Amino acid sequence: MRLERGWVTPLAGGLFLIMAVTGILMFFHIDTGLNKVAHEWLGLFMVVVVVLHIVLNFKGFVNSLKTLTGKTISGIFVVLLMLSFLSLNGEGPNKPFVLPIGIMAKADIADLSKISRIGEEELVRRLQLFSSTPINAQSSVNDIAKDDLHKQMELLNKILQ
């Protein structure tokens, strides 16, 4: 298939629409269903399509970077990208909830039962719903979620509700 504007530009526009809607929904925490998955995976595809779009319009792209406006806008976005790696509160990559979640995820069911005031048997039953291996009172959320913080939080939320 030839690289042509007839399909690259509509793909870029369609992907932009999906990224914009799902991104706004995620920002306001009202995303549902596959919004997050679509945003993440189609975002990767969008990178490829945008690169193809730049290739197709390379001469215009290069010409735009020769102008003061093009240089200024590009510079602003480079600075914004660099700033996005900084922390506003000085805590670095670790958020305040990381330590307590990690401790709770590594606690065995017996200890988690004491903290949550949910019976051990009930916690074992709930945790077993998310595990393909047998669960007992010495098991932990981390046995299933490993060191994936996001999975630990989701699993703790599901079994402690």
Exposed / middle / buried, residue 48 (Cβ in 10 Å: 0-12, 13-18, 19+): exposed
pLDDT at 151: 85
pLDDT at 60: 93
Tell me, yes or no, if the pTM score tops 0.75. Answer: no
pLDDT at 2: 64
- 157-to-38, 92, 94, 143 alpha-carbon distances in Å: 23, 25, 20, 16
Tens digit of pLDDT at every position of the chain (161 positions):
566 778 888 999 999 999 999 999 998 888 888 999 999 999 999 999 999 999 999 999 999 999 999 999 999 999 999 988 876 655 555 567 778 888 888 998 889 989 889 998 998 888 888 888 888 888 888 888 887 888 888 888 888 88
Beta bridge partners of 140: 108
| In the chain, domain spans | 5-83, 98-160
The four Cα atoms 48, 50, 53, 55 give a dihedral, to 10 degrees, of -60
